[in-house]
């Protein structure tokens, strides 16, 4: 698996192409402040876009989706790493 970060160049969101022999690549965009709804209240939060590209020959799409769900959960609540 590869991680590609273009956020430091001001790119907010992109889709990365898998480089063989990796089976997945995670594209990381830049962080930006935007309006979000938290507990039915409007708030300002720092938002980052992540895009996961997966080669479905070695990796099942459902497994990749579960990995992404867990990854996002950890990014949103880093204390989960300690559990």
Distances from the Cα of 67 to the Cα of 33, 42, 63, 70, 76, angstroms: 26, 29, 6, 5, 14
The catalytic residue among 56, 76, 82, 83 is 56
Residue 27 buriedness (CB in 10 A; 0-12 / 13-18 / 19+):
buried
- Whether 56 is a known active-site residue: answer yes
- Catalytic residue positions, numbered: 56
């Amino acid at each position: 698996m590869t991680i590609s970060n273009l956020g430091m160049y001001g790119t907010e969101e992109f889709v990365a192409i898998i480089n063989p022999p990796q089976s997945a690549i995670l594209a990381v965009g830049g962080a930006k402040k935007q309006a979000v709804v938290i507990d039915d209240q409007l708030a300002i939060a720092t938002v980052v876009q992540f895009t996961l590209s997966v080669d479905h020959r070695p990796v099942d799409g459902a497994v990749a989706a579960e990995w992404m769900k867990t990854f996002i959960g950890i990014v949103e609540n880093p204390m989960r790493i300690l559990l």
